[in-house]
Amino acid sequence: MIADKQAQEAQPAFVLHAYPYRETSLVVETFTRSFGRVPLMAKGAKRPTSTLRGLLRAFQPLLLTWGGKSELRTLHKAEWQGGQMPLQGTALICGFYLNELLVRLLHRHDPHEQLFAYYQETLTALSAQKDYIPILRRFEQRMLQELGYALTLGHDVSGKPTDPNRDYCYEIERGPVAWDESNPNHGLRLGGKTLLDMEQGDYSNIATRQQSKTLMRYILNYYLNDQPLHTRQLLKDLQQL
């Protein structure tokens, strides 16, 4: 789907990724509230005199104005909105992890206003809280839900309520299947308690934290076509993901 090609004025947005284009310009992948992921050409943004210089930073709320008729629109103006505390240390790497997921999984020009709002809330949580695991798991779940890949957690594929005292095999795009020792399932084995904890957003249990990490990696790898995430390796090195 191609969004409206007319000029867009002061659209709420975040920078997900930027890379150099020729000597003085940047190509900026943005996540906008009303138009989804939009690639923009920031002409001359690397020049010392550019009004865009220093504004096109990740994790800062912006108002962007752009126009053009091609797939790659031209960025005309960026205004910093403030109000977002900067991310530091591991929180910063977590933020880049979220951005990499969005760049890889969001289709261009496909609006996700609820996900945009939740992304902003997640950045605020990363800047204020020290336990990043629940923040990342909840965002991953919410993102998959918004993209139409919601996890089935509260019941198995037959419709029976998830039993916290038994094990399940999670099959992608189906859901939990009761584990059968005599007939091993094809999928990832985990406890029913983990599934129910994830449904409630409760990551206080150590087993839940470990198993939910494995489950989300298993599912995301499927939708990423097993292409590795650069930021995941950084977080793995820090034993955070």
With contact defined as beta carbons under 8 Å apart, do 64 and 74 qualify? Answer: no
Q: What is the mean pLDDT of each run of 10 residues along the chain (241 residues)?
A: 66 94 91 96 88 89 91 92 88 94 95 97 95 96 96 96 96 92 78 98 96 96 90 67 48
Task: Return the closest-CA partner of residue 234 out of 102, 135, 95, 127.
Answer: 95
Look at residue 239 in the predicted model and tell me its pLDDT: 54
Could you tell me which residues come within 8 angstroms of residue 144 by beta carbon, excluding any fewer than 6 positions away?
150, 151, 219, 223
Is 89-237 CATH 3.40.50.150? no
> What is the domain class of 8-80 according to CATH?
mainly beta
With contact defined as beta carbons under 8 Å apart, do 74 and 40 qualify? Answer: yes
Domain residue ranges of the chain, discontinuous segments joined by +: 8-80, 89-237
Look at residue 240 in the predicted model and tell me its pLDDT: 47
Could you tell me which residues come within 8 angstroms of residue 49 by beta carbon, excluding any fewer than 6 positions away?
none
Look at residue 3 in the predicted model and tell me its pLDDT: 46
Give 24's DSSP letter: T
Q: First CA to last CA across the chain, in angstroms?
A: 34
Look at residue 62 in the predicted model and tell me its pLDDT: 96
